[in-house]
Amino acid sequence: MFQADFVNANPLAEALPRTRAADPCAVVLFGATGDLAHRKLVPALFQLARGGSLPAEYAIVGFARRDWTDAEFRAQYHPALGKHGGPDFEEVWARFAPRLVFSQGAFDDPASYAALKETLDTLDRTHGTAGNRVFYLAVAPEYFATIIRGLGEAGLIYPRLQESPWSRVVIEKPFGRDLASARELNRDVSRTLDESQLYRIDHYLGKETVQNILALRFGNGIFEPIWNRLHVKAVQLTVAEEVGMAGGRGGYYDTAGALRDMVQNHMMQLLALVAMEPPTNLSADAVRDEKVKVLEALPRWRAEDVYRSVVRAQYSAGSMQGKEVPGYHEEKGVAPNSTTETYVAIRLELNNWRWAGVPFFLRTGKRLPKRATEIAIQFHKPPTALFEAEDGGLGGANELVLRIQPDEGASLRFEAKVPGSRRRLQSVRMDFRYGASFAIPTPEAYERLLLDVMLGDPTLFTRTDELENAWRFMTQILDAWHSPQAPPPDHYPAGTLGPESADKLIAADSTQWRRL
Ligand code: BG6
């Protein structure tokens, strides 16, 4: 094996390069006392403030039921942010803290929205936020429509075509539970909001390595000509997680399952980016127009096709890094007879000219032995075998692996001659590592996405037609699983790579899952 960097990157490149600054604005966090706000949103805003990426004038308004003062709200975040501190923490905090404001209210109470409006009007005067608003809905999905209606009725959402000041609404997943409920929610929110005011967040799209899929494919000349059915034998997409139901997630997860939680959103986005045609430019709609065509090319399946092409499974008790862990049914919040899947494997083909006949294998699961998100493009072997392959060699089947996380980077496997008098080949790997090539830290996905909302750039957010096409495909699977003919979920011990049925699924194409 030898290793080499593909390119030598410019270490001075900015982590979040921008040609223009975001407008002054207020960011209202619904669910400000919740887990997402604590773990991701406020830390991301703090990092943006630290890096000087936020507009000169801004305010962050926490909206929740608790009876907090501004000082109590700030006190919640001081220790949490301080943990990841840095030597300049207190200095940045001293500038950041006065921008944090609390507005008490209930999601279904018109008076609360009137009070929020007053707070925002005051902030326009005291903090220079210029009437621009981001409303971030980090709340359970049953509140999405209620909050948007509340905002609309209080006059907090500006008319659809008004450019300035602006109001934008960010919605966390899950956006619907199936095609019908996603459509209903779309209809509901479209009474108040225009598509251009709605930002459906999928945090995978904010990951630097996910954005790099487009850079690798369309910023280089050598990959695109071979990125099709003539040269690609199969594509494997893996999102493996070690975590189980930590942090009290069992209750939510048991109503969702791996298909809704990971495949419908994150994995469909990865698939779209890997399989799409080159866009004519990088504008939001040009990119999303191409992505949606991939989702339209997903197969139309009957129940029997689903049983043949999709494996679902639950983890049973097992061991992770030498420690015994409980099975899914023993987790807190999980119904004892639950059939919710913690693992899904899918074999699908895209019905278009570029990909017809190429199998795409998708798998995701909780309590797998290792955390790894990667996309492997597996190429055909050379037409004749002139050389002897070393044991375990690929026989000339080159493989390009995009490592989304951890150990972000990409590697290309190819064959090289083993030194000596024989004509033996062995697989070697050319490797690019973000950490080694770029001397700057990768920004958190939420930093990039929050900044994009403030800048009004929807490229990395899911459009209605993308969402509905992804749900159409998932709904076929969900419907088949709900049928009385559906086989029950399989099982895999925690700490293993999934059930045997997933190995059989891929073995039918004379191949196997990549080792992680
Ligand atoms: C979330 C899912 O969207 O993504 C979680 O709800 C999952 O179940 C998480 O663990 C994975 O995100 P990441 O960034 O850690 O890969």
Strand pairing category for 372-379 and 399-405: antiparallel
Asked if the bond preceding 165 is cis, omega within 30° of 0, the reply is yes
CA 163–ligand 1 middle distance (angstroms): 34
The first and second tokens of residue 248, run together, are 């009290």
Catalytic residue among 78, 84, 266, 329: 266
Degrees (nearest 5) of the Cα angle 506, 508, 513? 20
What pLDDT is recorded for position 19? 60
Q: Which of 204, 252, 270, 342 has most ligand 1 atoms within 8 Å of CB, for mutation?
A: 204
Degrees (nearest 5) of the Cα angle 481, 272, 276? 140
Nearest-CA residue for atom 9 of ligand 1? 262
| Burial of 472 from C-beta contacts in 10 A (0-12 / 13-18 / 19+) | middle
| CA–CA separation, 27 and 424 (whole Å) | 62
359, 389, 393, 390: which is closest to 376 by C-alpha?
359
What pLDDT is recorded for position 394? 57
CA 408–ligand 1 middle distance (angstroms): 16
CA 262–ligand 1 middle distance (angstroms): 7
Q: Which of 173, 203, 253, 446 has most ligand 1 atoms within 8 Å of CB, for mutation?
A: 203
CA 260–ligand 1 middle distance (angstroms): 12
Number of the ligand 1 atom closest to the C-alpha atom of 241: 10
CA 202–ligand 1 middle distance (angstroms): 10
The helix or strand, by DSSP H or E, that contains position 451, with its residue range, turns out to be helix 445-455
Nearest-CA residue for atom 2 of ligand 1? 261
Concerning whether 266 is annotated as a catalytic residue, the answer is yes
Phi, psi for 514 (deg, rounded to 5) = -65, 145
Show Cβ contacts of residue 465 under 8 Å, excluding neighbours closer than 6 positions.
288, 292
Degrees (nearest 5) of the Cα angle 411, 416, 422? 160
What pLDDT is recorded for position 234? 97
Nearest-CA residue for atom 5 of ligand 1? 261
Nearest-CA residue for atom 13 of ligand 1? 204
Task: Profile the chain (516 residues) by mean pLDDT over runs of 10 residues.
Answer: 38 48 95 90 93 93 93 90 83 94 95 96 96 96 95 94 93 94 95 95 94 95 96 97 90 95 97 97 95 98 98 97 95 95 98 98 98 97 77 73 93 90 87 88 90 95 96 98 96 97 96 93
CA 495–ligand 1 middle distance (angstroms): 18
Nearest-CA residue for atom 14 of ligand 1? 204
Identity of the amino acid at 449: L
| CA–CA separation, 467 and 460 (whole Å) | 13
What pLDDT is recorded for position 8? 35
CA 271–ligand 1 middle distance (angstroms): 17
Q: How many other C-beta atoms lie within 10 A of the C-beta of residue 437?
A: 15
**Residue 348 near residue 354 (C-beta atoms within 8 A):** no
| CA–CA separation, 13 and 228 (whole Å) | 32
Q: Where does ligand 1 bind, in terms of residues with CB under 6 Å?
A: 241, 243, 261, 373
| CA–CA separation, 244 and 365 (whole Å) | 9
- Could you give the C-alpha distances from 201 to 41, 171, 265, 433, 463, in angstroms and in order? 12, 6, 10, 27, 10
Beta bridge partners of 105: none
Q: Say what the pTM is.
A: 0.92
Nearest-CA residue for atom 15 of ligand 1? 241
| CA–CA separation, 427 and 491 (whole Å) | 34
What pLDDT is recorded for position 86? 80
| CA–CA separation, 462 and 204 (whole Å) | 11
Q: Where are the beta strands (DSSP E) in 242-398?
A: 310-316, 318-320, 323-325, 343-348, 360-365, 372-379, 388-389
CA 385–ligand 1 middle distance (angstroms): 43
| CA–CA separation, 219 and 425 (whole Å) | 31
Nearest-CA residue for atom 8 of ligand 1? 261
**Residue 40 near residue 247 (C-beta atoms within 8 A):** no
27, 31, 250, 60: which is closest to 141 by C-alpha?
31
Q: Which of 35, 262, 342 has most ligand 1 atoms within 8 Å of CB, for mutation?
A: 262
Number of the ligand 1 atom closest to the C-alpha atom of 266: 3
Beta bridge partners of 444: none
Number of the ligand 1 atom closest to the C-alpha atom of 253: 8
Place of tokens 């207190």: 90
